[in-house]
Structure 1
Amino acid sequence: MTASPRDAPTVAAPEDDASLIERSRDEPEVFAVLYDRHAPSIHRYVARRLGDQAADDLVAETFLAAFRQRRRYDPGRSDARPWLYGIAANLIGKQRRSETRMLRALARTGVDPVADSMDRVDARLSAAASARDLAGALARLSPGDRDVLLLIAWADLSYEQVAEALSIPVGTVRSRLNRARRKVREALGGIDPTQVQEGTE
């Protein structure tokens, strides 16, 4: 006898981030699921900004801070990525000098210490633009403009998610992004920086 589709076992949908965080208040070990779900993408984002070694520490700090703040998380927000990227952006802000120094070194030498430390080909740039031009343009952006641009281009967050991550209005995200795009586009000879994609690892 053949089993009908009604007899097939149902697979439960994965628990959303808000539910996990809420459950972790009483069952702290549940927070590890959130880490497993989002740490790789947060790590890639931070590594592109500060290098692989710094990313290891900063991702650990991000999730430690998130764990400590989990009771204040808004359960109405099912996706915790903006919250986590916001924490990471704040921590990056504390290391801003290191990021700017790396970008200036890349602009001067053309050697990308982040790509070298990650031991992969970084195909973020089209043939028309060089890593030196991009790094120089990023180094010249204000910290706020750089955060918005890179959260959209490298973390693939929406305008609303960037606004949530940085605790700023969506209108501010749009104006910062437009300003950053314009400045970086000029440095790259007309290429839109948010269309630059990361190469496969």
Structure 2
Amino acid sequence: MLTAPDGAIASPERFATVFDVHYEEIRRYIGRRLDPGVAEDLAAETFLIAFRRRTRFDAARGGVRAWLYGIATNLIGRHRRAELRRYRAMARTGPPPDDSGHDQLVADRLSAEVTAARLAEALAGLSRGERDVVLLIAYGELTYDEVAAALGVANGTVASRLSRARAKLRNALGVEV
């Protein structure tokens, strides 16, 4: 994880290091949240926005990684309707077909389809804030502090959104604690 003191990413040369270190991670995160075909473009847009705003980066508000996830999450928010349609479609149809043709993979796929459909439906039932927190933690592997910095909310807000989301997901998936 790269963190930078104030102004340390202001120069284009230093920003190139930020890009090299974090691009693939941000692209994967976006690809998990939206259609993978969009991930490359939105990841590039994330870094374009970050590059344009690099002189305003404030390390006191969080690290570079959380800052980039915040930009990416905001871009994803603009594509929210497509994200919700994708989760609802997955809930109806399941994940894309597997071309391997092995008997065990077919059985595994049937089980995965049921699980993926239920999970996608449950995620679609969360509020945007709850879904952002869950997916930043699950896909981005961000800490509570990083999620708070990425979304521009307090740590307590992250904890309460995650708690509500967990309860909703447990209820939707029929999981008892």
1:34-86 per-residue CA deviation (whole Å, 9 max, x = no partner) reads 11101111111110110211100110010011111111111346731110000
Distance change in 2, residues 1:163/1:107 (3 Å): same
SS of 1:97 mapped into structure 2: helix
Does the 8 Å CA contact 2:136/2:147 hold for their aligned counterparts? yes
Does the 8 Å CA contact 1:18/1:77 hold for their aligned counterparts? no
1:163-184 per-residue CA deviation (whole Å, 9 max, x = no partner) reads 1110011111111101111111
Residue 40 of structure 1 is matched in structure 2 by 24
Structure 2: gaps spanning 5 or more residues: 100-104
Q: 2:81 aligns with which of 97, 101, 117?
A: 97
How many residues align? The count is 167
1:180 aligns with 2:165: yes
Higher relative helix content: 2
Does the 8 Å CA contact 1:18/1:76 hold for their aligned counterparts? no
Aligned residue runs from structure 1 range 10-159, under 5 A: 16-19=2-5, 22-25=7-10, 27-76=11-60, 79-112=63-96, 130-159=115-144
Distance change in 2, residues 1:81/1:140 (3 Å): same
Alpha-carbon RMSD across the aligned residues, in angstroms, is 2.7
The residue type paired with residue 34 of structure 2 is L
Instruction: With a CA cutoff of 8 Å and minimum separation of 6, indicate the structure with the bigger relative contact order.
Output: 2
SS of 2:59 mapped into structure 1: coil
The residue type paired with residue 55 of structure 1 is A
d(CA) in 1 for partners of 2:152 and 2:62?
Answer: 17
Question: By how many angstroms is 1:31 displaced?
Answer: 1.1
Does the 8 Å CA contact 2:15/2:51 hold for their aligned counterparts? yes
TM-score (norm 1): 0.74
Question: By how many angstroms is 1:24 displaced?
Answer: 4.2
Moved over 6 A (4+): none
d(CA) in 2 for partners of 1:93 and 1:112?
Answer: 24
SS of 1:151 mapped into structure 2: helix
Residue 102 of structure 2 is matched in structure 1 by none
TM-score (norm 2): 0.84
1:148-199 per-residue CA deviation (whole Å, 9 max, x = no partner) reads 111111111111111111001111111110111111122223289xxxxxxx
The residue type paired with residue 155 of structure 1 is G
Question: By how many angstroms is 1:103 displaced?
Answer: 0.4
SS of 2:4 mapped into structure 1: helix
SS of 2:7 mapped into structure 1: helix
1:128-147 per-residue CA deviation (whole Å, 9 max, x = no partner) reads x7000000011111111100
